[in-house]
Amino acid sequence: MGEEYSLEDRFQQYVEAENKVEPKDWMPEKYRQTVIRQMSQHAHSEVIGMQPEANWITRAPSLRSKLILLAKVQDEAGHGLYLYSATETLGITRDELINQLQTGKAKYSSIFNYPTVTWADMGAVGWLVDGAAIQNQVMLCRTSYGPYARAMVKICKEESFHQRQGYEIMMRLAAGTKEQKAMAQDALNRWWWPSLMMFGPSDDNSPNSAQSMKWRIKRKSNDTLRQEFVDKTVPQAEFIGLTIPDPDLKWNEERKSYDFGEMNWDEFYAVVKGNGPCNKQRIINHIKAHEEGAWVREAANAYAKKQQARKKQSAA
């Protein structure tokens, strides 16, 4: 028991000194489980997040916008791949992770349970959803688990291209016809609050935050990141002449920050519990794609086995 405590103390000092924890290092079991939980939720979000955008690939209004959207959706698949691989270094298999997603044991970001109903939604998703993702993920480049931190560096670079892609769509629509501007405003109206919900419950109601911050898994609290996102995004909306749908939004000169209204927490918890507008559809689609892709996994495994056998043969 005493030894266990001292290992934990040493681990705490190690992360507080800004060292990275690597897969073969000793770590408290709860640390391992917490990182698996967060990283897998993150990986699932990237992969499920492909669905609302893939919905518009065939209907993008120009060849240029189609190519960009296609590249963005492929990037999300890549992010899922790095994150699943990094999660596997903690001793859980890809099959187990996918099973947890498909059976509802593991969560993914609430935001991807909202429908994308117009082309302007591609703008709002890129601008706001990727914008919120970057706000949260820049701090994760300094997270204490080494493979997660390293994966996040490349992911953040790509997310910032995604954010600009979305903002460009909004900028064009906002400067277009009256109808186009109205479409951009409508998308902002629908995506603003769900984007703020991406940061999770308020600090007072966030059961995992204290321990995750102590272990340097999370580097900033949910409310701090949400506030930073609001402060950064409001001037961007003003610049293109759109209005943030929050009557309580007001610059606070004393805090040098925006005050903003209360989120609809009932809606947040309903979506997180599986009762959002698209939760069921997202999982049905995932299961279908996974089943249809079984032959690809089988072929890849057969190829890997063949390569291994060849390597063995030439080494003998």
CB-wise, 180 or 202, nearer to ligand FAQ?
Answer: 202
CB-wise, 27 or 50, nearer to ligand FAQ?
Answer: 50
Report the C-alpha gap between 235 and 263 in whole angstroms. 20
Kindly state the DSSP code that residue 58 receives in the 8-state scheme: G
Least distance between ligand FAQ and beta carbon 215 (Å): 11
CB-wise, 36 or 242, nearer to ligand FAQ?
Answer: 36
Interaction of residue 208 with ligand FAQ, rule CB under 6 A: yes
Binding mask 209-238 for ligand FAQ (x = CB under 6 A): x--x-----x---x----------------
Interaction of residue 110 with ligand FAQ, rule CB under 6 A: yes
Report the C-alpha gap between 218 and 142 in whole angstroms. 9
Interaction of residue 154 with ligand FAQ, rule CB under 6 A: no
# binding residues, ligand FAQ (CB under 6 A): 29
Report the C-alpha gap between 230 and 132 in whole angstroms. 9
Interaction of residue 195 with ligand FAQ, rule CB under 6 A: no
Instruction: Tell which one of 31, 46, 101, 123 touches ligand FAQ (CB under 6 A).
Output: 46
CB-wise, 138 or 181, nearer to ligand FAQ?
Answer: 138
Least distance between ligand FAQ and beta carbon 126 (Å): 7
Instruction: Tell which one of 65, 136, 195, 233 touches ligand FAQ (CB under 6 A).
Output: 136
Report the C-alpha gap between 158 and 160 in whole angstroms. 5
Q: How many CB atoms lie within 10 A of CB 250?
A: 11
- 94-102 and 29-48 are packed helices; what angle lies between their axes, rounded to 10 degrees? 70
Using an 8 Å Cβ cutoff, are 20 and 86 in contact? no
Report the C-alpha gap between 89 and 70 in whole angstroms. 30
Least distance between ligand FAQ and beta carbon 46 (Å): 5
CB-wise, 134 or 181, nearer to ligand FAQ?
Answer: 134
Report the C-alpha gap between 227 and 199 in whole angstroms. 10
Please report the beta strands in 2-155, taking only residues with DSSP state E, as ranges in sequence order: none
Interaction of residue 207 with ligand FAQ, rule CB under 6 A: yes
**CA-based angle 191:119:161, to the nearest 5?**
75
Least distance between ligand FAQ and beta carbon 277 (Å): 14
73-102 binders of ligand FAQ (CB under 6 A):
76
Surface-to-core class of residue 252, CB atoms within 10 Å of its CB (0-12 exposed, 13-18 middle, 19+ buried): exposed
CB under 6 A: which stretch of 56-64, 97-105, 128-136, 301-309 binds ligand FAQ?
128-136
Interaction of residue 129 with ligand FAQ, rule CB under 6 A: yes
Backbone φ and ψ of 145, nearest 5°: -85, 115
Using an 8 Å Cβ cutoff, are 224 and 168 in contact? no
Using an 8 Å Cβ cutoff, are 212 and 34 in contact? yes
Q: Which residue sits closest to ligand FAQ, CB atoms considered?
A: 49
Instruction: Tell which one of 15, 36, 40, 49 touches ligand FAQ (CB under 6 A).
Output: 49
Pair of tokens at residue 311: 């390597």
**Which residue ranges make up the site for ligand FAQ (CB under 6 A)?**
37-38, 41-42, 45-46, 49, 76, 107, 109-110, 125, 129-130, 133, 136, 197-201, 206-209, 212, 218, 222, 272
